[in-house]
Structure 1
Amino acid sequence: MDELYVFGYGYNQQFPKTLRQDAQKAEYLDVKSVSTPTCVLSAEEIVIVWASWCDLIIIISDTYRYTGTSLLPAQITAITTLPASLAQTPVFFGRPDTSGVLGFITPSRSTLTIFSTPHEIAQGAPPTQTTSFASSPRLILAIHFTASDAVIVHSAHRATNQITVVELPSLQHVHDFIANPNAEYITRTDFPLVQVTTNIATLTAVSQFGTTHTLATDRRFARAAGRDPDSSTETAQPVPFLEQTWITRVAAGGLYTAALAEDGELFLWGQAMAGTPGELRCLANKSDDDDEYVRTVDLGEGASVVDLAVGAGHVLVAVERGESREVWAAGDNRNHALGLGMEMKGRDFVNEFVAIEGLKGEWVKQMVCAGMSSYVVVKADSMRGNDE
């Protein structure tokens, strides 16, 4: 059995108290700003497939559920009627800190659905626009956005399986890129990769060899790239401090990026966004042994990080220490995004990582942060023994 905990800014989300298929008759729990981790759902299987400041998409057992404010009824139906399979899930894309979800790529990675904006609908566009690229030489793997509204497309060539990351001027240019092999585009990576993520100023990519590369998409924030800025290149370059470290996962949000090493070590770089009431101590204070940009985060003796998530200004990490399991949080605590409770109400920013009491001992399955919202899926007590 899985349980979904939420805390932080809830934008009036509604979670069904019961999992009856007839949504019209289900009871709902309104979630606004929540100061401590609150369990809002229990089901045999819960998987978060998209989260933003204004919407959330989850798979509950074999059903897609949408809660939020960014979509029209017809667009919500396009999601909730998708065949739910945990083995093959669509890839949703959008702007987590502004517009919310904007569309999805089917599991075949050859069909793209874009949700029309209110302006486009007023001009006569349908609520959803779906295009098949089944005959295209390229597969779409993921879509990200930069602060300047450029589009980062993660794609693979069908014949050679060569994976590339390119930058396009807008979402509408994705059609030309996929359908037309001769379309012009800017290549942002020149190496085989396994993960790509973006925040408002940086593209971060992890190669199949575990090396981390970054590219500044907004050069006003030099520290966000985790290395000396290089204006002479258009492709992501290695982060020197991490060149000898095998990175298994990266997460980014706001102007922060966090990286998880194969051995459970945590690395962090970037800076707080303008207007944030503080800065993480590990980034603000540099010792003689620290790298100029990337900092190693010390969570105490025996701590091994197993998962991480980054919001607009806060970071969550799941930590194992022997048999002990905890979730630690640091950063912007406005709207209770850290889940530390009302006793921390007066502290708008927590500059060091602190354990979240409400999640101590929980077996974390998945963590997602978006904006000032936090979501944690845990395995309930009755299921933990199956994995130990």
Structure 2
Amino acid sequence: MNEALIRSLTPSVLAVLVRRGADFAAAEDAVQDALVEAVRGWPADPPRDAKGWLVTVAWRKFLDATRSDAARRRREDRVDEEPAPGPAPAVDDTLQLYFLCAHPSLTPSSAVALTLRAVGGLTTRQIAQAYLVPEATMAQRISRAKRTVSDVRFDQPGDVATVLRVLYLVFNEGYSGDVDLSAEAIRLTRQLAARIDHPEVAGLLALMLLHHARRATRTAPDGSLVPLAEQDRGRWDTASIAEGIEILQAALARDRLGEFQTQAAIAALHADAPTVEETDWVQIPEWYDELVRLTDSPVVRLNRAVAVGEADGPRAGLAALAELNDSSATTSSRGHPMPRHTAVAAYLHERDGDLATAARLYAEAAHQASNLAERDHLTRQAARLNALRRG
């Protein structure tokens, strides 16, 4: 059984059923039933046309379910009889599935789960394991999401920006259970890039590749975080870096700058530097200025303050940080202090030689952190500076 083939065919088979008139929820159930049949029968008797086989069996499953449900008898009148077996249609509606799964009526978590199920071809169990929730909980989430989009017209234009945000959410989940969501997000973004000619799609793919290239060096064997400046650049994936930069350069040449292209440009400057000292810090604040213009994000402004501190010195960075002290960049949506803001302040004070203030701020940031790895890292930073002061 070729699992990669099955997963690659799942979205196009689902799209065929929806195009024929099946609502999304019923079509997705029928496709899953067809996949079960494939798992049972293909090892002994593989079909010559895998997609055609799946379309035929899934459509039959859909018709059987429709006819057996009294509450859906009205819909049966609108359903054409089963098409004759034969090659699957050449039209590929996978792109529409991306838009459907990223529909604005869905919550981000539901959009991610539905995308992984319908476009990615993952099972409910795999998605539940990746998000560390019970399978029943994930099944309910996916079921609600399918019902939400069942009445959405399949030919409505979609929002590329929403699709890209959903894919970026998938990428940032990283690795958990038996599913590598970062790799899955790259696979899906490649698939999207093959179907839509859009510089921001290319920008997101480049960004993912550039970040993923450093993945092996981001944590130590004991699970502790390794800051960018301390990562072993000899272990970075140079092939992914080269591909990401090539994709980014082609996107930037189209002169339609967007958020993901700008983030990728910053990541490329980091990835292309042989050492942290050789990083082009002069360019990086300029790209952050573009990103602030595009997003006006408090987190972007925080990162810009770090870049300014590297380019123009820690006091310039602290001055940039001071501009944010009365803004939402210092607190979360619930009014709590943001550990990232406090940690940036600690880092810049350390660079400026004020170890006492830096140690205090690192300890505060550790107390604010919700992530265990981040909390441990910040605690070690505070302990390191306190040891230096005592020594």
TM-score scaled by length of structure 1: 0.26
Q: Which has the higher helix share?
A: 2
**Structure showing greater relative contact order (alpha-carbon pairs closer than 8 Å, 6 or more residues apart):** 1
Q: Which has the higher strand share?
A: 1
- Determine which structure has more spread, i.e. the larger CA radius of gyration: 2
